Structure 1
Amino acid sequence: MNSSVSSWRSLLLRIGDKCAEYGGSADHKEHIDACYGHLSRELEYSKDDILEFLLQCAEQLPHKIPFYGVLVGLLNLDNEDFAGKVVETTQRNLQDALYSGDCNRIRILMRFVTVLMCSKVIVPGSLVETFETLLSSAATTVDEEVGNPAWQSRADFYVTCILSCLPWGGAELSEQVPDEIDRVMAGVQSYFSIRKQTPETGFQVFESVEDKVTNEK
């Protein structure tokens, strides 16, 4: 591996390390600028390798997803084709994760897609469409006539994924597409109203103990 390849890989891995957010004193903007400079110079020679490694970093270092999202946003200003490949590959990976039921990967990729929206790599409407697809699937799953309520935990997970994206991009969605995100939240409320409210089995033992104590009194 030559020094230039080693350099951009190392920068991608270490981006954000020792920044104030992680208890250090380094400036995260300097990390981003340095990494962006190296990547923009290497894209012509190592585009496929950079794409693959960047997405691996986003999945395996999810706490750094905001940094990777900003990087893709900056690269998008000069190279829309590369950013488009990032989006295309991420969406394909998300579809694969949904098909295989890889919950952790679904959650991480949904976060990455949300951050890409914040970095103006994808339009807000595209993210809302993904939310609504998950909502529709969740609602259909718990429908006793056309779905399979036994899979309610999967439906709950889809809705949880939507809600977990909001800390990463809810403010931007509310500002840019307020009507659409209101529609999504109304859909979430609707889902909660139709899902079965089943007691949490893990707490039943405590309820039994409380009932026993009450009866003894």
Structure 2
Amino acid sequence: MCRLCSVGEQAGRDQLEVERPGVRAELAAGDRRALYLAWLSAIGAWALQEDDEEEYRAAVEPPVPAGLDRLTAPQRALADFLRVDADLLAVAAQASPPAPAPRKRPGKKELAPLIAALPETEKDDLLLRLALGGEPQLGAELLRRLRGEPSAVTVPGQRSAAELLDAAHARVTERRQRGERVRVEARATKPTALATDEEAIWREVENHVACKQVARYDVAVALLVELRAACDHVGRGPQFRQ
């Protein structure tokens, strides 16, 4: 691996180390975007292998979490580290519901009366689950229950890996074709624009020639070649040659 690639890989690892606590906290709060990003990375790497097409069609995406089109900073660092294809992510995000607006973490004054209003049996159940451990999302779940909020939003996965990969490829192809159309249009309009500015270009050529420098002569010749082609393009070739 080249030195520049090694430096880039190390920078990515360093950034991920910085953002890793944030990813863990988001997962503990019920945010599943990091898990979905890992799945996208896996099928992106899988696509580089020559496997049976039926396998790609049989693999269905997991539940699609909300907010794939607006990743947090830790999630973006994870996506970069996992080399999640941007077009594949954009296609996946089309089925992702909007992420709920972030809310300020409540304080003691807000939580105390809400907790006091919980039924005793529910409090006992929560305390038992807390004592048993093994539920890192229990705190986030409790906050949602106290506020009367629904669980983290997801939609059932319905698309196959093949569908996502094909859609991402189509997106890349469309972007390339659009860029080529722009280049073709630019090439088509440039001669007309040059021919329209013929007098100004002649003055520029004369200024270059007047400097009596080899490099400026080369620039003058290049301008004249372009202007000749432009005049031929608009049907004024004979006038240019005169």
Provide TM-score, normalisation by structure 2: 0.25
Of structures 1 and 2, the one with the larger relative CO (CA 8 A, separation 6+) is: 2
Max Rg structure: 2
Provide TM-score, normalisation by structure 1: 0.27
